[in-house]
Structure 1
Amino acid sequence: MKNRMATYFFLATLIFLSSELKSQEYMFISEIKISGNKRTREEIIIRELPFKRGDVVRASDLPLLLLEGRNNIRNLSLFNLVLVYNNTERLDPSEKYGNTEIVIQVEERWYYWPMVGIILEDQDFGTWIKKPDWSYVTIVGGLKVNNIAGRNQTLRAVLTTGFNKGFFFEYSNIYLDKKGKHLLDITFKRAYTRVENISLISDLPFHIKSDSSFLKSSYSTTLKYTFRQGLHLRHNLTLDFSYTEIDPVILKQNPDYWGNDQTNRRAYSFIYNFVFDKRDYIPYPLRGLYLSSGITGYTSNRRDVIHKKVSGDLQTFCPLAGGFFASARVHGAISSTNVKGHVFNRVIGFDENQLRGYRRYAFEGQNYVVASPEIKYRIVPETRFHLKFLPFLPKFNKVHLAIYGKLFGDIAYVHNKYYSSSNTLSNTLLKNYGLGLDVAAYYDITLSAEYSVNHLGEGGFYFSLVKPLR
């Protein structure tokens, strides 16, 4: 209720502002005041505004500028609540210019998150608990810290031990200049795995497992440079070096696993992409546009394995009347490799690139395209609850959420020049449709329940928890 009142207050302010500003054609921004940022530096917030102190803007443009500024600040994922409004001096209506003061109020989030997980590699929990065997358990422990020193930087450090081993370290969003136009991410990764996906059989990922030794060990170092050209446009350049060793049993079972018969490889990757992102709320957008495109180059140090890829992603979001919202996404990629290699042809069903209605399947190919239209209906508007029985958790006792129903469909096509009689879903038009329910909550969390049916007539429920993006 409190959050709804805040929204009404914000809209009422904009309406009042519009009527007040009709008398002045231009507004002079005399001051920008920020409160609630106990940790976050002011320049991190001011950097997201489409105006600055001392600017003169058209009075008719100011309401939309305030809304854009609020969306940009909220998309930092640093605050649970963001209010942006203005106080305007009452002047003689005959005056062409008016003075206005911008007020920004924020409530900061909790920034320290433990990263803990226990993975049973061989059995489900019910079977394992009857006869526990810790040699088949992978334990993950680490820490994620957001907004380090109030500069919107993120640190992740994770250690994995047990059946699989490794560590992961990332320090991201490092500002290289005072204006925040140049940023750097640094990542180090070391991994030892006893389970590896080596091919597809019957359109399903085929894994092999070793109890006695690691099938794959690797380490990599990644540097990502970002140039922020404007509020919504970024250019990213990523350089990666990796060294990988695999067990000969992988090549014995699939000689086309990674393009040659060597059991170790040093490799270099180059990725450039640009991102234009003007969505109102990145974790669960209802209005706006997202566009990205990039090129990827990969080569082994001997240059006997070369992989190239061009990819693109377009997303549009538009509110309709009566609480309805429409969205559409089209994304795909075109790639070329001078050798046949399973690791280069994994396009859908691997990592986070999933296709609704086909989540149990995986697809190999060199080129693919997916189109995904969707209609949402707002069942419960964004509402804020104050959990008074948790006064000792001020960062968590103010919960806000919204509930949406949705109808969706997907049309996809994966082209694979390496035909296999055991994998028939590639080179076939893939279609699915379904309905679902989303709960968009605070801390960028979305709970989703979906039911979908694919072109094979297979239907099923799918539940997911979409974690924060940062």
Structure 2
Amino acid sequence: MVGSAQSNPLPADTNRVIIAKLVIAGNKTTKESIIRRELLFNSGDTTSVENFNRFVEKSKENLLNTSLFNYVYVNTFHESPTHISVYILLEERWYLWPYAIFEHADRNFSAFLNEKDWSRINYGLMLVKNNFRGKRETIKAKFRLGYKEQYQIYYDNPYLSKNQKHGITTDIAYFRQKQVQYITLNDKPQQYSNFSDYMLTHQNYNFTYYYRNKHYTVHKLSTNYTKASVADTIVSLNPIFFGNNKNQLRYFSLAYIMDHDKRDYKYYPLTGYNLTFILSRKGLNLFNTDQINIWDLQTSAYTYFNIYKRWYTGTGGKLKLSTRKKQPYFIESALGYEEFLRSFEFNLIDGQHYIINRAFLKYEVIPTRVKVIESWGWSKFNKIHYALYTNVFFDHGYVYNILPDPSNKLPNQYLYSFGLGVDLVTYYDQVFRFEYSVNPNGPDGFFIHLGKAF
């Protein structure tokens, strides 16, 4: 497992054991209660050896998936034939990140490399404090200029209550742009620029409450208020940008999210599964301000297996359904944004409903290795882990659009792609993917991505 360390599992010939002592070390910043929240065992527990060994592995996965630690070591020692002591040694990450922002504003890195449009660059400053007060809180402040200006304050506290089952997130953001994607033609986004004035401003206020009773299921209730305005020029170019020739849009939204996650490592899973369900309503008719009325249902399921030694496979998909037949362009999105089929990275496929399925077969070329680079000095960064995988993949799906522009050929037809890839996985949850993929609509191409495929 990425960032994990080999434990010394108890021999199976021992029948049952009692955990007499549990010692946690290395957590200079993180509160011990935050660590214990992720464990499936505690001092005083009596369990079978088989269950204990399984609990240890799952607990290590839980701790690594918090993104608080680079490495987790678990060792056990017999105090007597039936009593054991458990020692957990943690190596914490660096938690304060002042970022100088210099990034592309395209939907993905491959789209930016293809377009090479340097006017679509963002730059600025961002300060992120992870594990604030040692309680896994996150505070973020962003000041970003360029293609899409953004000013943001963000706070997340997953353990608001004493029993560590209730959490909240608040997010306030203000955006404005002088260049706007105003329509999709020929299955690609079209831009309008006026660098003497702002074409689009957008305010977003979000509050989310979530409940996590045990370890693997989270329920969220999210409320949001959006207020946006656009220049008359954009409305003349696309009358349904906000819908019905409007140049302003305001609405409240409410969403329920359920996430059940038993993946071994959520940033690059090799085993386990993940289920999500989202039901949302945009437009609550509060205070006579809402100008839309849209229900969305989204659900996804992905599963991953170790089929033989260093061979892995995975498959799954996502379904989205909406009630409104034609939505404002500002809101409507299907594939090409957060979700896309590989080999269609350069395309936008707009629609109200879509379904996709993905699958891979993967071989572990270089199992996870750890290397200490003494010359780097800083212990938070000089101990790196890395692994290399090669894979073949197949993606397919369908987007339904009730009224597509005649120039857009990809909605309302079966789409598929396949290809080969190489993935580099390293510390601080970084994944670099290099892929060559093909589809019958063309063109074939080489693509670079950051983060897991699914």
Q: Which of 360, 368, 387 is residue 373 of structure 2 equivalent to?
A: 387
Structure 2 runs not aligned, ≥5 long: 107-111
Q: What letter matches 2:302 in structure 1?
A: Q
Aligned ranges for residues 276-287 of structure 1 at < 5 Å?
276-287=260-271
Q: What letter matches 1:337 in structure 2?
A: R
1:43 aligns with 2:33: yes
C-alpha distance in structure 2 between counterparts of 1:231 and 1:388, whole Å: 37
1:443 aligns with 2:433: no
SS of residue in 2 equivalent to 1:150: coil
| CA distance 1:304–1:109, shift in 2 (3 Å) | closer
Q: Which of 412, 415, 438 is residue 453 of structure 1 equivalent to?
A: 438
Q: Which of 16, 22, 43 is residue 32 of structure 1 equivalent to?
A: 22
| Residue pair 1:185, 1:225 contacting (<8 A) in 2 also | yes
C-alpha distance in structure 2 between counterparts of 1:121 and 1:327, whole Å: 30
SS of residue in 2 equivalent to 1:296: strand
Percent same amino acid among aligned pairs?
Answer: 27
| CA distance 1:451–1:271, shift in 2 (3 Å) | same
| Residue pair 2:306, 2:313 contacting (<8 A) in 1 also | yes
C-alpha distance in structure 2 between counterparts of 1:60 and 1:341, whole Å: 55
* Corresponding position of 2:124: 140
Shift of 1:390: 1.5
What does the per-residue CA deviation read over 1:216-266, in whole Å, with 9 as the maximum and x for residues that have no partner?
Answer: 112121101110022000001110112111111111111111223332232
| CA distance 1:47–1:163, shift in 2 (3 Å) | closer
1:403 aligns with 2:393: no
Larger deviation: 435-444 or 27-36?
27-36
Structure 1 runs not aligned, ≥5 long: 92-97
| Residue pair 1:257, 1:341 contacting (<8 A) in 2 also | yes
C-alpha distance in structure 2 between counterparts of 1:224 and 1:120, whole Å: 28
What does the per-residue CA deviation read over 1:352-391, in whole Å, with 9 as the maximum and x for residues that have no partner?
Answer: 2222010000111111011001011000000000101122
TM-score, with length taken from structure 2: 0.92
Q: Which of 232, 239, 264 is residue 223 of structure 2 equivalent to?
A: 239
Q: Which of 8, 11, 20 is residue 18 of structure 1 equivalent to?
A: 11
* Corresponding position of 1:326: 313
* Corresponding position of 2:405: 420
Between the two proteins, the alignment pairs up a number of residues equal to 441
Q: What letter matches 1:324 in structure 2?
A: W
RMSD between aligned residues: 2.4
C-alpha distance in structure 2 between counterparts of 1:29 and 1:427, whole Å: 59
SS of residue in 2 equivalent to 1:68: helix
C-alpha distance in structure 1 between counterparts of 2:191 and 2:420, whole Å: 32
Shift of 1:344: 3.3
| CA distance 1:368–1:162, shift in 2 (3 Å) | closer
Shift of 1:112: 1.4
C-alpha distance in structure 1 between counterparts of 2:327 and 2:150, whole Å: 29
| Residue pair 2:152, 2:174 contacting (<8 A) in 1 also | yes
What does the per-residue CA deviation read over 1:163-213, in whole Å, with 9 as the maximum and x for residues that have no partner?
Answer: 653301111125221121000001010111112222110111112111221
| CA distance 1:168–1:421, shift in 2 (3 Å) | same
C-alpha distance in structure 1 between counterparts of 2:126 and 2:360, whole Å: 37
Q: What letter matches 1:361 in structure 2?
A: N
| CA distance 1:281–1:166, shift in 2 (3 Å) | closer
* Corresponding position of 1:343: 330
Shift of 1:303: 4.3
| Residue pair 1:439, 1:446 contacting (<8 A) in 2 also | yes
Shift of 1:52: 2.1
TM-score, with length taken from structure 1: 0.89
* Corresponding position of 2:109: none
Q: What letter matches 2:31 in structure 1?
A: R
Shift of 1:121: 8.7
Q: Which of 184, 188, 193 is residue 209 of structure 1 equivalent to?
A: 193
Q: What letter matches 1:90 in structure 2?
A: S
Q: What letter matches 2:217 in structure 1?
A: L
C-alpha distance in structure 2 between counterparts of 1:62 and 1:118, whole Å: 47
SS of residue in 1 equivalent to 2:195: coil
* Corresponding position of 1:89: 79
* Corresponding position of 1:94: none
1:64 aligns with 2:54: yes
Moved runs in structure 1, 4+ residues, more than 6 A?
Answer: none
C-alpha distance in structure 1 between counterparts of 2:254 and 2:73, whole Å: 40
C-alpha distance in structure 1 between counterparts of 2:349 and 2:93, whole Å: 39
Shift of 1:145: 1.2
SS of residue in 2 equivalent to 1:358: coil
Shift of 1:307: 1.0
SS of residue in 1 equivalent to 2:243: coil
C-alpha distance in structure 2 between counterparts of 1:261 and 1:411, whole Å: 35
Q: What letter matches 2:23 in structure 1?
A: K
| CA distance 1:192–1:99, shift in 2 (3 Å) | same
Structure having the larger proportion of residues in helix = 1
* Corresponding position of 2:299: 312
Shift of 1:464: 2.0
| Residue pair 1:48, 1:231 contacting (<8 A) in 2 also | yes
Q: What letter matches 1:289 in structure 2?
A: Y
C-alpha distance in structure 1 between counterparts of 2:432 and 2:32, whole Å: 32
What does the per-residue CA deviation read over 1:127-161, in whole Å, with 9 as the maximum and x for residues that have no partner?
Answer: x9xxxx9x997532111111111111111111023
C-alpha distance in structure 2 between counterparts of 1:347 and 1:388, whole Å: 47
SS of residue in 2 equivalent to 1:30: strand
C-alpha distance in structure 1 between counterparts of 2:328 and 2:104, whole Å: 29
SS of residue in 2 equivalent to 1:251: helix
